[in-house]
Amino acid sequence: MGKKKNVHAQALGALGGKARAKNLSDARLQAIASKGGKARSQRLSKAERIRIALLAVRAREKKRARKQKARAKGDN
């Protein structure tokens, strides 16, 4: 049987990241996120990075198309 987790420690852990993020500047948050993204991407193969980039491009194009469609509907 596994060891029971401390519910109070879990609650504090969940609050820790949000409280820390509140106290950081936008620039610092962006730097931390960028550092994490770079570390994750280094673990990926070149083919996987390309696949993810293409997915991002498709998502942006889809979002742009929806916005244009909504604008065109509003113009009528």
Number of domain units in the chain: 2
Alpha-carbon gap, residue 33 to 55, rounded angstroms: 20
Please list, in sequence order, all residues whose beta carbon lies within 8 angstroms of the beta carbon of residue 52, skipping any fewer than 6 positions away.
44
CA–CA dist 14, 10 (Å, integer): 6
Which of the four pLDDT bands, split at 50, 70 and 90, describes residue 1? low
> What tokens were used for 22?
């509140």
Q: Which residues of 23-50 are buried (b: 16+ CB within 10 A; e: fewer)?
A: eeeeeeeeeeeeeeeeeeeeeeeeeeee
For residue 23, tell me if it sits in a domain: yes
Pair 38, 53 in one domain: no
Q: Answer yes or no: do 50 and 35 share one domain.
A: no
pLDDT digits 0-9 by tens, 32-76: 989 998 888 889 898 998 999 999 999 999 999 999 999 888 766
Q: Are residues 15 and 35 in the same domain?
A: yes
At residue 58, the 3 state secondary structure works out as helix
Domain assignment of residue 27, given as a range: 7-43
1: in domain: no
Same domain? 76 vs 59: yes
Same domain, 37 and 12: yes
Residue 2 lies in a domain: no
